[in-house]
Structure 1
Amino acid sequence: MPERNGHVLLGVNALILGYLPAAWKSPRLTADAFHSGDYWRQIGAIAERGTLDALFLADSPSLGNPGQDANPAKLDPTVTWAHVARHTSHIGLIATASTTFNDPFELAERILTLDVVSGGRAGWNLVTSRDPQAAANFGLDGVPTREERYARGAEFADAVVGLWDSARTGEELSLDGEHLRVSGRLCAPASPQGRPVLFQAGGSPQGRALAGRLADGVFTAELTTETAVPHYQLVKDAAQQYGRTRDEVKILPGLLLSLGSTEEEARRRSDELHEASPAAYSARWLSQAIGFDVSTLDLDEKFPSEVLDAPLDPATFTGSIGFRESILQKIRATGPTVREYLRETRYSGSGHGGFVGTPEQLADRIEEWYRLGAWDGVNLQPDVLLEGLEVIADEVVPILRRRGLYRHEYETSTLRGHFQAAGPSA
């Protein structure tokens, strides 16, 4: 495999209790864990013990469906991370927040405030929202079309970045767009890291263009290196087209984890957690992800062409295009029956990639994809957050260090500094 300078970037997507619905059954969790300040303090302390680069936490403007969402209730990430910032000194703290149901001035101020009080460790993961229930919560009759959401999202990103810069330069932002009008400047102090780190989530053409133009990182979904390597190059190419260097935007796909001391133990753990989850969880999630009711299919037949080859109508499909493409590409390549695929998602991931195995095997996966140029790093998503995060910090990170792929201690104190210290891309 080719040599690469620097080290891999490691993030953890803190999915409240874990990515599987049965995570709440962990004997280490209390009934009020997710809204306990001490729980989040533990998460920050463990991540920093492993010298991880960043923690991600998503906002949710509506109550989720427990049949499709392992964590249907969520707290505001910027407030949660402000609490964690008080008890940590180096870990980056990234809040996922929507451009569809937020105001750019208010969000820019909130993220910059977190950045200032954390000493330059804040980031924003930009998403658009597609949930009709969220729209109703904001007094709207429905969700804007995909094109409208992305157009507003692009203007929103320009507004937020311009407002962050206004805090440094003292110059007012004047933006008069088709979807947004913003005039003024933030009153907060300038960012200790220049500006908060900006992530873009997703793999659509509009998302790639936005990432190439403005983002410092992309939180994407990839299932195979055959699709990940070309997507990696597309985003890097887009950055160059906008006059930036290829290294200015980092690619960190998500990876769902179940870890054990042996592969057999890890698979047993994954099976037990899946079987303790709602019986229809996998089928419901897959139906939402690909835009087809999987419950109508024969479990012991292969996916029909009406599913695999159906043209996508962006105007009516409400899911993630990136997730849908990665799932259908994997199904086409392997040709499983519906039952086989639903079982395989326990081990290979759904929209995000999946991994079931030992810490050593996970280090192999991280190293292989990094050296192939499929990612600059990875956003790890444990099945049970608290337990999985400890294994990452205490077992996976030391293996990566021994291989020369990860630092032994923090070399920088800001999130942007962590990204820059990771070294140039191949």
Structure 2
Amino acid sequence: MTDNRMRLGTAFLATGEQMASWRYPGTPADGAVNLDHYVQMIRKSEEGKLDFAFIADGLYINEVTMPQYVSRFEPVTAISVLAAHSTRIGLVATVSATYSEPFTVARQFASLDVLSGGRAGWNLVTSALDGAALNHSRDGHPAHADRYERAAEHLSVVRGLWDSWESNAFIHNKETGVFFDPDKMHRLDHRGKHFSVQGPLNIGRTPQGHPVVFQAGSSEAGKELAAQGAEAVFTGMGGVSTIAESKRFYEDVKGRLAKYGRTRDELKILPGISPVIGSTAKEAQAKYERIAGLIDIETALRYLGRWFNHHDFTQYPLDEPFPELGDTGSENYKSVTDRIKRNAKEQGLTLRQAAIGNATPRGPLVGTPEHVADVLEQFFRAGAADGFILLGHVLPEGLNDFVDHVVPLLQARGLFRTEYEHATLRGNLGLPEPINRYAQAWTDSAASRPSYTTGKE
């Protein structure tokens, strides 16, 4: 890790990461469709000089375990509105590569990048919920490997479309009547296994060159896709666990970059965190217990079962060791279920403890602002993360507490900016602007040609 400042983003998870967060005092129960709530959070995030805010998504609702999401904004629409309520913070929206077309995605995010002045990011996901297929005219959800194969081709096509126009293609010469230089317009003419796309994209080169690509998978296929083409990785739900575990993931993904001709600085790895902050450790613990107490054990068991193909955990004794499940689990959430089973075994958790801990992950970030800042600094300086994404068990309280009390400490330690350095998301994340492939090809070709002089003697 060569950058000496951490990157910080925040996830607008409606009412919060915790599944019963809509019940928390001060949290709007309709947060997922409350524009004032989102505007308040984007302004607070920008006040804290955070790098970006992103909106997650799901294409299939589970009205039993996640009622706050039965009605929610479509992410690209929502983040586009927030572009008008902010000036510097990055704006990231989630769109599934499994249930979208590359041309549409390329156009959406190119438009957002132009509208926001270069602040757009695409959180590429493959969709884990089997029910998503039933909402998209399909009989079944594609297998895990097939989804990631499609995602890799999808991303390649999107990036190809973002190169449709060179940066100076549009001349707009009213005197000559030349609107654009046709030599600087390029058709993609992609023919692949999953997609057939001619191009060009019907919007020009954007302020960032390409919007920033985020990716959230932590499986083997997810890590490989991240190394191949992502520029920021969102890993983990509910917070960091140990420095050693986070560093293993960090080095694993960073170690894959070289085979794709990429450097370690071209990908930012950002674990999700859910700090609970109090003026004292006792106050923070009481707040955590109040948040965790929003969920009854029956609901927590159903939520736990969601990761395991809706496995029925009510059949097991609550206060005995977490059951041996063998290979029981969802292929779509393998990294999550493996972690749940591993933590339960290593920590000797009962089923009750595992269910409550899964519903409201505690992690090491319950304490005073100084304690939270200390832990984040330790992970960052150990090379276990390039920064963090704030999830927040409950919103907006979790965001407000972090910006008001932890960010100033990180700034005072020289670990985080006090002002935005750049106008674009790419610039603030310290990521290079991609070179248009066609302009680069012309440059390379010109460099290899002999030099000629012409003219009349």
- TM-score normalized with structure 2 length: 0.84
Choose from 380, 387, 390 the match for 2:397: 387
Q: Residues 288-299 of structure 1 correspond to what in structure 2 (within 5 A)? A: 288-291=306-309, 292-299=311-318
Maintained 8 Å contact 2:56/2:75: yes
Alignment equivalent of 2:321, drawn from 302, 306, 312: 302
Tell me the residue number matched to 1:47: 45
Alpha carbons of structure 1 residues 22 and 217: separation in structure 2 relative to 1, 3 Å: same
Structure-to-structure mapping, 1:276-295, within 5 angstroms: 276-291=294-309, 292-295=311-314
How do 1:177-196 and structure 2 match up within 5 A?
Answer: 177-196=192-211
Return the alpha-carbon distance in structure 2 between the equivalents of residues 225 and 290 of structure 1: 27
SS at match of 1:209: helix
1:18 deviates by 0.9
**For 2:296 and 2:317, how far apart are their aligned partners in 1?**
20
Matched-pair contact (CA < 8 Å) for 1:19–1:381: yes
Structure number with greater CO (CA < 8 Å, separation at least 6) is 1
Query: 1:144-180 deviations in whole A, cap 9, x for unaligned?
Result: 1112111111111111111112244631112222122
List alignment gaps of at least 5 residues for structure 1: none
TM-score (norm 1): 0.90
Distance 1:31 1:380, change over 3 A: closer
Q: Letter of the 2:261 partner, please give it.
A: G
Residue pairs, 1:415-426, within 5 angstroms: 415-420=425-430
8 Å Cα contact 1:10/1:54 also seen in 2? yes
Alpha-carbon displacement from aligned partner over 1:59-90 (angstroms, at most 9, x marks no partner): 32223334146533321111111111111111
- SS of the aligned residue for 1:253 comes to strand
- Partner residue of 2:156? 158
Q: Does 1:328 align with 2:341?
A: yes
Separation (CA, whole Å) in 1 of partners of 2:23 and 2:429: 35
Q: Distance in 1 between matches of 2:346 and 2:230?
A: 31
The range that moved more, 220-229 or 239-248, is 220-229
**Separation in structure 2 between the aligned mates of residue 354 and residue 180 of structure 1, nearest angstrom:** 44
Moved more, 8-17 or 322-331: 322-331
Name the aligned partner's letter for residue 203 of structure 1.
S
Cα deviation, 1:92-126, whole Å, max 9, x if unaligned, reads 11111111111111111111111110011110111
* Residues in 2 aligned to 1:186 and 1:354: alpha-carbon distance in whole angstroms: 46
Runs of 4+ in structure 1 displaced over 6 angstroms?
none
Match of 1:206 in 2: 221
Q: SS at 1:252's partner residue?
A: strand
- Tell me by how many angstroms 1:54 deviates: 0.8
Compare CA radii of gyration and give the structure with the larger one. 2
Is the 8 Å Cα contact of residues 124 and 198 (structure 1) preserved in structure 2? Answer: yes
How far has the Cα of 1:29 moved from its partner? 4.5
Q: Does the C-alpha gap of structure 1 residues 28 and 303 become closer, same or farther in structure 2, counting only changes over 3 Å? A: closer
Contact 2:58–2:127 under 8 Å retained in 1: no
What is the match of residue 410 of structure 2? 400
Whole-Å separation in 2 of the counterparts to 1:32 and 1:5: 39
Could you tell me which residue of structure 2 aligns to residue 267 of structure 1? 285
SS of structure 2 residue aligned to 1:97: strand
Which residue identity does 1:319 align to in structure 2? N
Q: Does 1:368 pair with 2:378? A: yes
**How far apart are 1:396 and its partner, in Å?**
0.8
Q: Distance in 2 between matches of 1:277 and 1:101?
A: 32
The percentage of aligned residue pairs carrying the same residue is: 38
CA apart distance, 1:354: 6.6
Please say if residues 96 and 125 of structure 1, whose CA atoms lie closer than 8 Å, have aligned partners that are also in contact. yes
How far, CA to CA, are the matches of 1:364 and 1:66 in structure 2? 38
The residue aligned with 2:57 is 59
Mapped pair 1:252 → 2:270: yes
- CA-atom RMSD, angstroms? 2.3
How far 1:23 sits from its partner (Å)? 2.5
Secondary structure of 1:362 counterpart:
helix
Asked if 2 retains the 8 angstrom alpha-carbon contact of 1:360 and 1:399, the reply is: yes
Q: In the superposition, relative to structure 1, how do residues 398 and 209 fare at CA in structure 2: closer, same or farther (>3 Å)?
A: same
SS in 1 for 2:365: strand
Of 205, 224, 229, which aligns to 2:242?
A: 224
In structure 2, give the amino acid aligned to 1:404.
G
In structure 2, C-alpha distance between the alignment counterparts of 1:20 and 1:199, rounded to whole Å = 23
Alignment of 1:98-177 (within 5 A): 98-168=96-166, 170-177=185-192
Q: Deviation at 1:269?
A: 2.0
Question: Take 1:8 and 1:116, find their aligned partners in 2: how far apart are those partners?
Answer: 27
Q: Which residue of 1 aligns with 2:368?
A: 358
SS at match of 1:56: strand
Cα distance change on mapping 1:344 and 1:311 into 2, 3 Å = closer
Q: Deviations over 1:385-408 (max 9, x none)?
A: 211111111111001011111111
Distance 1:101 1:354, change over 3 A: farther
1:197 to 199, 212, 218: 212
- Shift in alpha-carbon separation, 1:243–1:263, aligned structure 2, 3 A: same
Matched AA of 1:321: K
SS in 2 for 1:21: coil
What is the DSSP-based 3-state SS (H/G/I as helix, E as strand, rest coil) of the residue aligned with 2:164? Answer: helix
Query: 1:234 matched to which residue of 2?
Result: 252
